[in-house]
Amino acid sequence: MLVFEGEIKMKIEKMVKDRNIVEKLARDGIVDATEVQEKAIPVIMDGKDAVVQSETGSGKTLAFVLPIAEKLHGEGIKALIIAPTRELAKQITSVFKKYTHLKSVSIYGGVSISRQIEELQHANVAVGTPGRLLDLIERGELRLSEIQFLVLDEADRMLDMGFIGDIEKIIEATNEYRQTLLFSATIPDEVVRISRKYMKEPIKILIERKTTTVKQKHLFYVVSVNEKFSLLVHLLKNSNGSHSLIFCATKKMTDSIAAQLKMHGIKAEAIHGDLSQKQREEVLHRFRKKMVRALVATDVAARGLDIDGITHVYNFDLPNEIEMYTHRAGRTARMGNEGMVISIVSDKDYVLFGRIYRAKEGLEEMKKPLFQKIPFKIDRYNKKRQRKGYYRRRY
């Protein structure tokens, strides 16, 4: 594999021939290519398979949308993009529709399959989640024998979510002449195995992580369990103009946090797996339009979300592993903007946070501010463990 390193400065118009696309991008202020676009687009235009390691928010969607728009020809489904979540599938589809002439369709579960089958008859590009795509393939409604492009987006997340079997079945339904592109924030062994098995001498493009350096601050506060919600309210009320994503461990907790934040004058909503697709889309629309100031989510519900302008990420419940901490943090400080990652650490979090503290450089402990104590319901299980003295501060 070849590895591209170093920085390049290039304008979008130097890489894209279609003037209509260039003009549409320019109207949205997209003139300079991001690093992943600079490095990936020429490789893809040259017809090479590519493994691209690039974090969320780096501009990777346009890195494959633009060359596909330039090179795709013929009627019927000629490009297939596999994504881990319905939200990401819809976002990619919207980029195709906004900037290109190609007809694209989103394919995902939880909605009418008959309508998707109808839309496939008139589309050039199918963007979907593995389960529903495989369902359509097995029904004979999605034929991939003539596709020119296959894209696996956020490949590491799809593998984490257990989609490996479905993905391999989908790939095996395509033809051997396709151009295969794999985008992933990390390159674990399973991603390497997929690339070796299904790709032809792929070019490897590595984009260094940038969100966790100067533009992103990592802070934590140590408080008692009974003070966690009170501190969260205090921090939200004292961060004027913030657009915040708050992570919780359970669906029940997201609902509780969102409801009680609203009781205290903070525009908040929860998003989790129990919401219908329509409800999820409405919540995300309000959050993107900043009608909602704080989005309270589980890790599963937040997968695939691509929302610019998030200023703060709060870890109300600590993640189980450092990789998940990094993934959460990647939701802020995107595209060169500043962002803040704040962990609210209580006695029940010391073991989990100790692992993060030892692995993550630059974590700064903040002095506990004065704030109003606000009652918040705590489940009996945590209260019982607290009384027994189960937790110890270990970092």
Answer with the residue of higher pLDDT: 267 or 7: 267
To 5 degrees, how large is the angle CA 382–CA 386–CA 390?
Answer: 110
Q: Which residues contact 19 (CB under 8 A, 6 or more apart)?
A: none
Of 280, 297, 289, 395, nearest in space to 349 by CA: 395
Average pLDDT for residues 326-350, to the nearest whole number? 84
Q: What is the pLDDT of residue 269?
A: 95
Domains of the chain by start residue, with CATH: 3-206 (3.40.50.300), 216-387 (3.40.50.300)
To 5 degrees, how large is the angle CA 248–CA 251–CA 255?
Answer: 85
Q: What is the pLDDT of residue 165?
A: 92
To 5 degrees, how large is the angle CA 176–CA 163–CA 67?
Answer: 45
Q: Which two tokens stand for residue 363?
A: 């974590």
Q: Which residues contact 297 (CB under 8 A, 6 or more apart)?
A: 245, 246, 247, 248, 254, 270, 271, 272, 305
Q: How far is CA 192 from the centre of its chain?
A: 21
Residue 307 has pLDDT above 70, yes or no: yes
Q: Percentage of the chain with pLDDT > 90?
A: 55
What is d(CA 228, CA 174) in angstroms, rounded to the nearest whole number? 51
Q: What is the pLDDT of residue 209?
A: 61
* Confidence grade of residue 174 (pLDDT, cut at 50, 70, 90): very high
Average pLDDT for residues 121-129, to the nearest whole number? 95
Burial of 290 (0-12, 13-18, 19+ CB in 10 A): exposed
Helices 113-120, 130-139: axis angle to 10 degrees equals 70
Q: What is the pLDDT of residue 30?
A: 84
DSSP tag of 368: P
Average pLDDT for residues 112-135, to the nearest whole number? 94
In order of 72, 103, 243, 325, the CA distances from 258 in angstroms are: 45, 38, 14, 21
Residue 343 has pLDDT above 80, yes or no: yes
Average pLDDT for residues 193-199, to the nearest whole number? 94
User: Considering only 58-67, 182-191, 228-237, 271-280, which range has the smallest mean pLDDT?
Assistant: 271-280
Q: What is the pLDDT of residue 385?
A: 36
Of 209, 207, 78, nearest in space to 151 by CA: 78
Task: Please state whether the predicted TM-score (pTM) of the whole model is above 0.75.
Answer: no
What is d(CA 67, CA 314) in angstroms, rounded to the nearest whole number? 37
Average per-residue pLDDT for the chain = 86
Residue type, 283: V
Place of tokens 């928010």: 57
Residue 337 has pLDDT above 80, yes or no: no
Residue 84 has pLDDT above 70, yes or no: yes
Q: How many CB atoms lie within 10 A of CB 120?
A: 18
Residue 232 has pLDDT above 60, yes or no: yes
User: Considering only 114-128, 321-335, 343-357, 362-376, which range has the smallest mean pLDDT?
Assistant: 321-335
User: Considering only 75-89, 145-159, 176-190, 292-306, which range has the smallest mean pLDDT?
Assistant: 292-306
Residue 155 has pLDDT above 60, yes or no: yes
Q: What is the pLDDT of residue 370?
A: 94
Burial of 217 (0-12, 13-18, 19+ CB in 10 A): middle
Place of tokens 């110890």: 392
Contact 269, 258 (CB under 8 A): yes
| Alpha-helical regions (H) of the chain | 19-27, 35-45, 60-71, 86-99, 113-120, 130-139, 155-160, 164-172, 189-198, 228-237, 251-263, 277-288, 299-302, 322-329, 350-359, 380-387
User: Considering only 103-107, 200-204, 362-366, which range has the smallest mean pLDDT?
Assistant: 362-366
Q: What is the pLDDT of residue 59?
A: 82
Q: What is the pLDDT of residue 328?
A: 84
User: Considering only 3-17, 285-299, 328-342, which range has the smallest mean pLDDT?
Assistant: 3-17
Q: What is the pLDDT of residue 57?
A: 67
Average pLDDT for residues 181-201, to the nearest whole number? 91
